[in-house]
Amino acid sequence: MKSDLYCNPVPLPDLTLGMGRVFPDRLSAGYIAQNCDYREVADPEILPYEGKYYAYMSCRQVYVSEDLIHWDYQPLEIDFPLGYAPCVTCCGKNIYITSSIRYGEKYARIYAAEHPTGPFKTLGIPKDKYGKPIEDFLDPALFTDDDNRVYLYWGYAPLGGGIFGMEVDPQHPDCGISDIVKLFDLESKNPWEHFGRHGEVTDFGWNEGASMYKYNGVYYLQYASCGTRFPNYAIGVYMLDSPLGPVKKPATLLCCNPHGVVSGTGHGGMFTGPDGKPWQTYSVLVHRLHYFERRIGIDPVSFDENGVPKVEVSDSPRSVSAGKVDLVNAAAWKNSAVSSYQPHTPGFYALDECLHTAWFPQVEDKQPHFTVDLERDFTIHALRLIWAEDNADVRNNIQYGPVNYRVNFLDNNGNVLDFTIDKSSNQRDLAVEFLQIAPITARYVQLTILRGSNPMVYGLSDLAVFTEPRTMGNQ
């Protein structure tokens, strides 16, 4: 039987350079830990279309999946590259897409195509109903209602800002046909909107990343806060009676996970998943080389008896159809042994459930190995490898690419078992890998990176070993 397990962060192939390396600016330069390349995807939105899921995100469009588990990259055909936070909607035969203003430009553009991957052609600059171009067009959202009326949202909300919306022409969504409505502003009563890691600034926060979804007759307008560089970056949601409000009820907290591998779970959107059930996609914070270094996650949405939605963020395997499974990470915070390590990057940093730390072997170590001691034997069902790359320099031909490696399993006595995960000829470039295996009972898991002549020094941000829980027994 084919497995339907998924595990966050979502494994996506062929991640690209972060926006701050492609279009550097003073703001981005101030957020970088060192002058080096990094990879980034974030601010995801997923469009179900003709039996497939199309994921659009900052820095990389578009990823396609049939099952929410296996994703492939398909380049977007479009007149001009998109900026941060692309959004998309389907209205009749048309697919509309737009994004935040790109650095150095004054206005954004809205595009149309007849397929989710394009070719997209420019319709025009977003304008209000009087024909005035919209400035400060950040983190937009497009929404098509059941009656094929189309709505556009945008904005951000430090003091004096806000999240705005208007109805647009369904044949020309760059043209507003209603007044612009300010839907909400910063709400200091909501602790998740307080700026800072511990909410230390109560009258400021980055409310951004609007997204609209309709379910059971209710309009769910979500937004992210308090800042994408913080692990407590979260998503709040307002429940409305119509696409442009007004807001009558306080917002509730939809999605927040400030600790562990999958943290900083803000800026995403709801979409209709398998069996017509709502799912949520969201950003995942890395923040090792750059404040905006991120990945993405997905999880189902649940609703209480009043229709209030909630997302339980997951960082261990889940079943798409059945939800939780009885697998836990038995490697977290355990002992490790390594062949070498660079200063301030010990082996423990691959087991501390934190993506802004990593183990890195010495540069001259051509076949570095990393061994975790689970401290007793466990029945292992899956592994998750989250790679770290420290010396990438695309302009000087130190390129991202597939990691070649092997994984061996050892018993209580340190004997190598006769099952090996052999990725010595790996052809798939994945910054995150989720590997399901036939169950094997082992105490030690040993990873060997096969660098050879590759100038890239690969490290490990996280190694998770997913096992069945067990009793102490006589060990």
> Do 139 and 223 fall into the same domain?
yes
Among 262, 377, 292, CA closest to 17: 292
> Do 130 and 100 fall into the same domain?
yes
Please provide the average confidence, as pLDDT, over all residues in the chain: 95
Q: Which residues of 378-395 are buried (b: 16+ CB within 10 A; e: fewer)?
A: bebbbbbbbbbbbebeee
pLDDT-derived band at 390, boundaries 50, 70, 90: confident
Among 327, 335, 389, CA closest to 358: 389
CATH (domain of 52): 2.115.10.20
Contacts of 473 (CB under 8 A, 6+ apart): 376
Alpha helices in 189-336 (DSSP H): none
> Do 113 and 37 fall into the same domain?
yes
For residue 263, is it within any domain? yes
For residue 473, is it within any domain? no
Structure tokens at 296: 């993405």
> Do 284 and 386 fall into the same domain?
no
pLDDT tens-digit readout, 214-268: 999 999 999 999 999 999 999 999 999 999 999 999 999 999 999 999 999 999 9
> Do 73 and 185 fall into the same domain?
yes
Residue 189 sits at φ, ψ, to 5 deg, of -75, -15
Cα distance between residue 143 and residue 140, in whole Å: 10
- Across 111-133, average pLDDT: 98
Among 133, 59, 126, 68, CA closest to 98: 126
Q: How many CB atoms lie within 10 A of CB 472?
A: 6
Cβ atoms 332, 351 nearer than 8 A: yes
The enclosing H or E element of 20 equals helix 19-22
pLDDT value of residue 454 = 85
Query: Of the residues 287, 317, 347, which one is the last residue of a structural domain?
Result: 317
> Do 241 and 134 fall into the same domain?
yes
How many residues in the chain? Answer: 475
> Do 312 and 334 fall into the same domain?
no
Instruction: Please check the confidence at residue 279 and state whether its pLDDT lies above 90.
Output: yes
> Do 234 and 189 fall into the same domain?
yes
Q: Are strands 72-73 and 87-91 parallel, antiparallel or unpaired?
A: unpaired
Residue 467 sits at φ, ψ, to 5 deg, of -130, 165
Cβ atoms 62, 120 nearer than 8 A: no
For residue 323, is it within any domain? no
Among 355, 285, 394, CA closest to 17: 394
* Cα angle value 435/437/438 (rounded, 5°): 170
For residue 421, is it within any domain? yes
Contacts of 358 (CB under 8 A, 6+ apart): 288, 345, 349, 350, 388, 390, 459, 460, 461
Distance of CA 75 to the CA centre of its chain: 18
Instruction: Please check the confidence at residue 121 and state whether its pLDDT lies above 80.
Output: yes
pLDDT tens-digit readout, 29-44: 556 656 788 999 999 9
- Across 300-322, average pLDDT: 98
Query: Of the residues 260, 286, 317, which one is the last residue of a structural domain?
Result: 317
> Do 308 and 340 fall into the same domain?
no
- Across 184-204, average pLDDT: 94
> Do 373 and 305 fall into the same domain?
no
CATH (domain of 393): 2.60.120.260
For residue 417, is it within any domain? yes
For residue 76, is it within any domain? yes
Cα distance between residue 319 and residue 322, in whole Å: 5
Instruction: Please check the confidence at residue 159 and state whether its pLDDT lies above 80.
Output: no
pLDDT tens-digit readout, 398-432: 899 999 999 999 999 999 999 999 999 999 999 99
pLDDT value of residue 160 = 63
Residue 348 sits at φ, ψ, to 5 deg, of -60, -25
Cβ atoms 455, 391 nearer than 8 A: yes
Q: How many CB atoms lie within 10 A of CB 39?
A: 25
pLDDT tens-digit readout, 73-84: 999 999 999 999
Q: Residue 309 class from Cβ within 10 Å (0-12 exposed, 13-18 middle, 19+ buried)?
A: buried
Helix (H, G, I), strand (E, B) or coil at 307: coil
Cα distance between residue 306 and residue 327, in whole Å: 32
> Do 206 and 236 fall into the same domain?
yes
Looking at the structure of the chain, the number of domains it has is: 2
Among 266, 261, 241, 386, CA closest to 316: 261
For residue 30, is it within any domain? yes
For residue 472, is it within any domain? no
Cα distance between residue 148 and residue 138, in whole Å: 24
Structure tokens at 149: 């009326």
Distance of CA 358 to the CA centre of its chain: 19
Q: CA dist 353 to 16, 290, 317, Å?
A: 24, 18, 15
Query: Of the residues 291, 317, 343, which one is the last residue of a structural domain?
Result: 317
> Do 184 and 259 fall into the same domain?
yes
Among 377, 372, 381, CA closest to 463: 372
Structural domain harbouring 35: 5-317
Cα distance between residue 276 and residue 260, in whole Å: 30
